[in-house]
Amino acid sequence: MENKQAPVITIDGPAGSGKGTIATLLAQHLGWQLLDSGAIYRVAAQAALEAGIPLEDATALVELIQSLEMHFADGKVWRNGQEVSLAIRTPETADATSRISALPAVRIALMDRQRAFRQLPGLVADGRDMGTVIFPDAKLKVFLTASPEIRAERRHKQLSEQGIYASITALIGEIKERDERDSNRSIAPLRPAADALMIDSSQLNPEQVLHLILQNQ
Ligand code: DC
């Protein structure tokens, strides 16, 4: 159950903007809970793939989501007692996640699960619609961006570390295409809240971004 007494800071923005890093640093600094909402969508998608549920079958997906047990601790993720930390990060799961997250019924079915992370002493919530839909009463809403070129470079570095080669030009193209789709979807589009603090992290390191957030909280 959500504890409305607990303060919330939301960090929304596109993939590669550095949200995950900043949210983790901020939660550690404040000693608050951390919600990686993308991981929740990813667990649901990975479970659907494993169960062979068609990714457009909203009714079956909602039924599956209601039966899921998820657990997050020490940077690891468990589903129904099984560790799925790596399985939720594969390109196949990422693709399935982007499809199921466009279904209104799926987003509604995952709302309470996300809000349950709001506990004392406070919550840092990372996602796409944290400040606009899930925690509209957050005390601080950050919208983190970076240029497609910088985000592609960060993604390239991440992939190389996993031994995967990808061309920067292709990555820039993919990122622009995904931004277009995410920003124009009819439900919970990627969009800053009207009262969001906008931070462009293109020329900033994580400590500088953290400093800006702490100055405004
Ligand atoms: O942040 P991420 O890369 O783990 O997100 C995975 C996918 O889930 C991505 O396609 C966007 C979607 N997502 C969403 O629609 N809403 C959120 N609050 C978080 C993620």
Tokens encoding 180: 């277009």
pLDDT of residue 89: 86
Q: What residue owns the CA closest to ligand 1's atom 6? A: 38
Nearest CA to 123 out of 108, 141, 111 is that of 141
Three-state secondary-structure class, residue 189: coil
Identify the H or E element spanning 201: none
- Which pLDDT value is given to residue 36? 96
The pLDDT value given to residue 183: 84
User: How far, in Å, is the centroid of ligand 1 from the Cα of 108?
Assistant: 14
pLDDT for res 26? 98
Q: Which residues line ligand 1 (CB under 6 A)?
A: 15, 37-38, 41-42, 97-98, 101, 127-129
pTM listed for this prediction:
0.93
Give, for all 217 residues of the chain, the pLDDT tens digit: 899 999 999 999 998 899 999 999 999 999 999 999 999 999 999 999 999 999 999 999 999 999 999 999 888 999 999 999 999 988 889 889 989 998 999 999 999 999 999 999 999 999 999 999 999 999 999 999 999 999 999 989 988 887 878 899 999 998 888 788 778 878 878 889 999 999 999 999 999 999 999 999 8
Distance (Å) from CA 41 to ligand 1 centroid:
6
Amino acid code (one letter) for 190: L
Angstrom distance (rounded) from CA 124 to CA 142: 10
SS3 49: helix
Picking from 132, 95, 116, the residue whose alpha carbon sits closest to that of residue 10 is 132
H-helix segments, the chain: 19-30, 37-51, 58-67, 91-100, 104-109, 111-115, 148-161, 168-184, 206-216
> Is residue 195 packed enough to be buried (19+ CB in 10 Å), middle (13-18) or exposed (0-12)?
exposed
Q: Longest Cα pair distance anywhere in the chain, in angstroms? A: 47
